[in-house]
Amino acid sequence: MTKPADPLLLLETAIAADIHNGALPSGSWLKQIVLQKRYGCSRGDVRRALDRLAAQRLVVQLPNCGYRVHGLDTARLDELRQVRRILEGAAAELMLGRADAAALERLRQLAGAFSRAVQHGTLLDQHEANQAFHAALLALCPNAELVRLIRELRLRMPSAVVTQWPEAGWAEESARQHHAMVEALAAENGTAFRAAVCAHIRSAAVPAAAAPPSRRRGGLVAAG
């Protein structure tokens, strides 16, 4: 029998997805009653999901204020990006020679889907297409612990959808880099593949954090 989905895990995943697609921007304050209505769940489940996300450092709990989407200063974000380049560069080395014809065709299709989303889709379309491409790419890495570390690190950082792609030309550049990664994999060119992966992890400005909300009526402001 299929194990029933954990409602709390589904809620936690939904909030995390909205953080990463920019619906709940970095630095925004989270009003629990608003989240309760937004996701159609109990106040207790919202609190437990936020506690879980705080443990993952996606949100931060501030005494006497409540919860806020984790905001990072420029220096810390650059440090995390440096770690990403190290980890994903190491993963890139392990991916070489593991992409068969079917995997390469799948990656080309996903890279094309992202390019079309950049040209004609919404930011949410771009986010989902980008996630699909990187999930398929990371599936080529045989080191499960390395994959886990990369995924956890990405969760601690604001999404490109809010830090990079609104800048002119950067979504298009991301699309070109996707295609470059695929072709380097196909050619089994380790130098080019690693360079494309590391170039894809660029520095970006950090969205400004919101000021602490008013405590009037015990509420905290939620984005969106």
Question: Tens digits of per-residue pLDDT, 43-100?
Answer: 999 999 999 998 877 889 988 889 998 866 778 788 888 999 999 999 999 999 999 9
pTM value?
0.68
Sheet holding 66-69, edge to edge: 29-30, 66-69, 59-62
Closest by CA to 210, choosing from 69, 77, 75, is 69
What 3-state DSSP class applies to 62? strand
DSSP secondary structure code for residue 137 in this structure: H
Query: C-alpha 206: how far from its chain's center?
Result: 14
**In this structure, are residues 114 and 160 in contact, taking their beta carbons and an 8 Å threshold?**
no
| Overall residue count recorded for the chain in this entry | 224
Query: C-alpha 54: how far from its chain's center?
Result: 16
Compute the distance between CA of residue 85 and CA of residue 96 in angstroms, rounded to an integer.
17
Question: What are the pLDDT digits (tens) for 153-203?
Answer: 887 776 665 555 556 578 888 999 999 999 999 999 999 999 999 988 874
